């Protein structure tokens, strides 16, 4: 019998990049195939081609031995291909039923929606595959894990047989991820074929039947979990030996730099999202904040950096009360901030590199004399930092928007780290970057710590938090449920705390269970 899916010689070029280079791939019925590769390796491009969102420059697609061409998602859906996207394709203001039926609506009397009929089918699918969900709930009210279930039901509703999961665990707690793996195995058992895209080694070894590794747009190897381990996979993926752990000395914590007491913050909708949080960060230590996204970390960081006014509580920086201070006052006290969304908050994409480098200091000597900008000095400084921080850019006058993600992040790092600082607030500093950049940024953060800077690190990537932090604070629904010394924290323990299990129930972490994972 021919395989369910076969890709032959798929090639896709983007201006300046060969995203996919003659990729061959086969997928058998009831199989879970892991597609492993680091950010930017070309996995998502390949899957978007398969789903009809991109057109390949060369290559053929066969479904059960039959050659097909996929011009649009409609063709893909018709061929039984479904995709759970990394960023969910859900409409928050629609109900679960509306989201699922969209594009394949049940109608009566011409064009009127038949919501009950669709809901009934959703319930049927739910019970068959163990995907519990309320069809009448609005998607905006659902937790991420349930939203993902909605995405999966969307595929099953369209009777897809080939399911693509694009980085599905990025937004889940370890426990939620485990639940997802159970669901995936159940789907495979019932005859669905699954392609699982990821850059996380543990997941691949846990759930896949077969592993394909992609690097720089080309397949570099294929194996099965029984014959692979993390070290070899990592080397295949990156193309060289990688250090899975960041080298760092034991922290020598000094004086308290940041002191947060009983802080309450609301979000744009005036809902309380940080609910009575207290902690401090000392000079020379990294406090990592772990938690599933949307548990108040964003608002906490915004409050600490002055971007959001707290409702109550206090923030002290170097002994000074900064609860109501403006962002500029806090910056001038020696705070650096690496924001979670670099393109939205950290950079002005249409400005040249040089202007982005002085974004926080342009108004001070030597960059300005009175109100006059000193263009010469700004460009000299920029050129120096471009060299120091190894920013790959044609020149200091190139717009930042045309740089790669990693280099954009380096522009921010250069700007924030080149000032004399006492506190570094880093929010998801390695989001979406390739291994080289991740290593680089991690080293820089640890280096800052060793220089005596207090570091507040916020990341939904539990691995990253565990790897870098000296102490770990876990946030759940706006509260810090526990602060654990890094050396006694285990992944499962932190994962339980992140999922809302109280520290007592989660049980004290056991010695020897600590596993440090690489971030990718």
Partner 1 sequence: MATIVVHRKWEAVSPTRQRVMGLVELGSALIMLLVFTLKVQPGQMATFVMTPGGLTQGIAGNWVVPAFSTLMALTVVNFLLGMVQLVRGFGRWTNAVLGVVVAFFVFSFLTWATAGKSLNLLGMLSAAVLLAVPIILGAFSGVLCERAGVVNIAIEGMMLMAAMVGALVGSVTKNMWMGLLAAVASSVLLAWVHAVLSIKYKINQIISGTVINIFSTGMTSYLSSKFLQTYQELNNPPIFPRVPIPLLADIPILGPLFFNTNLFVYLVFLLLIILQVALFTTRWGLRLRSVGEHPKAADTLGINVFATRYMAVLLGGVVAGIGGAFFTLGSVGRFDEMMTAGKGFIGLAAMIFGNWTPLGAFFAGLLFGFTDSVATKLTILGTGIPIQFMAMAPYITTMVVLAGLVGRGQMPAADGTPYEKE
Partner 2 sequence: MSKPENKPDVGKVFLEEVTRPPVNERVRGWQRVGRVLLVPALAVVTGLLLGAVLIILTSESVWEAFRVSLGSGLVTAWNTIVQAYTALFTGALGDPVRIVQAFQSGDALEIRRALNPIPESLVNATPYIFAGLAVALGFRSGLFNIGVEGQLFMGAAAATYVGYAVKGLPGFIHMPLAFLAGALGGAVWGFIPGWLKAKTGGHEVINTIMMNWIAFRLTEWLLGGPMTRPGSGGLPISPMIEKTAEIPQFFPAPIRFHLGFFIALGMAWLVHWLLFKTTWGFDLRTVGANPNAARYAGMNITRNIILAMTLSGALAGMAGANQILAVNRSMALGLSPGYGFDSIALALLGNSTPVGVILSSLLFGALRNGATRMELLRIPNDIVSIIQALILVFVAAPAIIRTIYRVKVPKEAEEAVFVGSWGGGNK
Binding residues for partner 2, per CB under 8 A?
268, 305, 307, 326-329, 331-332, 337, 339, 344-352, 355, 359-360, 362-363, 368, 371-373, 375-376, 379, 383, 386, 394-399, 401-402
CA separation for the pair 31, 159 (Å, rounded): 17
Q: Which does 250 bind (CB under 5 to 8 A by kind): partner 1, partner 2, none?
A: none
Q: Which of 102, 318, 333, 368 binds partner 1 (CB under 8 A)?
A: 102
For every residue of 25-45, which 3-state class applies, written as one string? EEECCCCEEEEECCCCCCHHH
Q: Which of residues 166-185 bind partner 1 (CB under 8 A)?
A: 170-171
Q: Is 271 in the site for partner 1 (CB under 8 A)?
A: yes
For residue 302, the minimal CB distance to partner 2 (Å) is 9
Contact call for residues 308 and 265 (beta carbons, < 8 A)? yes
For residue 374, the minimal CB distance to partner 2 (Å) is 10
For residue 429, the minimal CB distance to partner 2 (Å) is 15
Interacting span for partner 1 (CB under 8 A) from 77-85, 212-220, 350-358, 444-452: 77-85
* Chain CA centroid to CA 106, Å: 35
Q: Is 234 in the site for partner 1 (CB under 8 A)?
A: no
Count of residues binding partner 1 (CB under 8 A)? Answer: 46
Q: What is the DSSP letter of 103?
A: T
Q: Is 105 in the site for partner 1 (CB under 8 A)?
A: yes
Q: Which of 1, 15, 16, 87 binds partner 1 (CB under 8 A)?
A: 87
Interacting span for partner 1 (CB under 8 A) from 22-30, 51-59, 60-68, 217-225: 51-59
CA separation for the pair 405, 388 (Å, rounded): 18
Q: Is 111 in the site for partner 1 (CB under 8 A)?
A: yes
Nearest CA among 487, 478, 483, 488 for reference residue 508: 488
Interacting span for partner 1 (CB under 8 A) from 45-53, 190-198, 209-217, 416-424: 45-53
Give CA angle at 469 (468, 470), nearest 5°: 130
Q: Around Cβ 96, how many Cβ atoms within 10 Å?
A: 26
In the complex with partner 1, which residue's Cβ is closer, 17 or 256?
Answer: 17
3-state secondary structure of 485: strand
Q: Which of residues 445-484 bind partner 1 (CB under 8 A)?
A: 477
For residue 272, the minimal CB distance to partner 1 (Å) is 11
For residue 339, the minimal CB distance to partner 2 (Å) is 6
Main-chain phi, psi angles of 398, to 5 degrees: -70, 140
For every residue of 32-97, which 3-state class applies, written as one string? EEEEECCCCCCHHHHHHHHCCCCCCCEEEEEECCEEECCCCHHHHHHCCEEEECCCCCCCCCCEHH
331-355: b (≥16 Cβ within 10 Å) or e: bebbbbbbbbebeeebbeeeebbbb
Which tokens hold the place of 407?
Answer: 């280099």
CA distances from 457 to 166, 266, 294, 474 (A): 26, 21, 16, 12
* x-or-dash string of contact with partner 1, 273-292, rule CB under 8 A: -------------------x
Q: What does the binding site for partner 1 look like in residue numbers (CB under 8 A)?
A: 48, 51, 53-54, 72-74, 77, 83, 85, 87-94, 98-99, 101-105, 107, 111-113, 140-144, 147, 154, 170-171, 269-271, 292-295, 477
């Amino acid at each position: 019998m021919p395989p369910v899916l076969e890709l032959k010689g798929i090639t896709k070029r983007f201006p300046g990049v060969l995203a996919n280079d003659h990729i061959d791939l086969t997928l058998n019925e009831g199989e879970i195939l892991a597609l492993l590769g680091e950010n930017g390796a070309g996995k998502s491009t390949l899957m978007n081609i398969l789903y009809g969102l991109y057109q390949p420059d060369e290559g053929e697609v066969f479904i059960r031995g039959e050659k097909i061409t996929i011009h649009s998602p409609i063709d893909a859906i018709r061929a039984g291909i479904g995709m759970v996207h990394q960023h969910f394709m859900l409409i928050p203001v629609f109900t679960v039923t509306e989201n699922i039926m969209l594009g394949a609506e049940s109608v009566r009397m011409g064009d009127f929606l038949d919501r009950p009929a669709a809901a009934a089918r959703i319930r049927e699918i739910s019970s068959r595959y163990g995907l519990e969900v309320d069809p009448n709930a609005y998607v905006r009210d659902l937790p991420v894990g349930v939203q993902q279930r909605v995405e999966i039901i969307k595929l099953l509703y369209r009777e897809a047989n080939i399911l693509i999961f694009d980085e599905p665990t990025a937004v889940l707690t370890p426990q939620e991820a485990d639940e997802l793996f159970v669901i995936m195995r159940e789907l495979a058992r019932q005859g669905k074929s699954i392609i699982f895209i990821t850059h996380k080694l543990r997941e691949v070894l846990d759930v896949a039947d077969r592993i394909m590794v992609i690097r720089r747009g080309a397949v570099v190897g294929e194996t099965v979990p029984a014959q692979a381990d993390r070290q070899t996979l990592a080397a295949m993926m990156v193309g060289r030996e990688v250090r899975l752990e960041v080298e760092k000395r034991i922290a020598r914590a000094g004086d308290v730099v940041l002191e947060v007491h009983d802080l309450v913050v609301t979000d744009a909708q005036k809902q309380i999202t940080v609910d009575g949080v207290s902690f401090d960060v000392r000079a020379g230590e990294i406090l990592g904040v772990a938690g599933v996204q949307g548990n108040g970390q964003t608002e906490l960081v915004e409050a600490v950096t002055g971007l959001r006014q707290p409702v109550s509580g206090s923030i002290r920086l170097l002994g000074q009360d900064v609860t109501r201070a403006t962002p500029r006052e806090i910056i001038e006290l020696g705070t650096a901030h690496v924001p979670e969304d670099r393109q939205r908050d950290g950079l002005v994409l249409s400005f040249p590199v040089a202007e982005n480098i002085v974004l926080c200091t342009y108004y001070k000597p030597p960059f300005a004399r009175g109100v006059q900008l000193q263009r010469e000095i700004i460009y000299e400084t920029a050129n120096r930092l471009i060299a120091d921080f190894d920013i790959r850019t044609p020149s200091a006058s190139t717009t930042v928007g045309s740089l790669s993600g990693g280099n954009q992040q380096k522009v921010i790092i250069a700007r924030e780290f080149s000032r004399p600082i006492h506190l570094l607030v880093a929010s998801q500093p390695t989001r979406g970057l390739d291994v080289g950049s991740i290593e680089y940024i991690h080293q820089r953060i640890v280096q800052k710590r060793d220089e005596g800077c207090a570091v507040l690190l916020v990341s939904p990537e539990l691995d990253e938090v565990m790897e870098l932090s000296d102490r770990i604070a876990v946030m759940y629904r706006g509260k810090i449920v526990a602060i654990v010394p890094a050396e006694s924290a285990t992944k499962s323990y932190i994962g339980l705390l992140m999922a809302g299990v109280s520290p007592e129930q989660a049980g004290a972490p056991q010695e020897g269970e600590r596993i440090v994972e690489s971030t990718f």
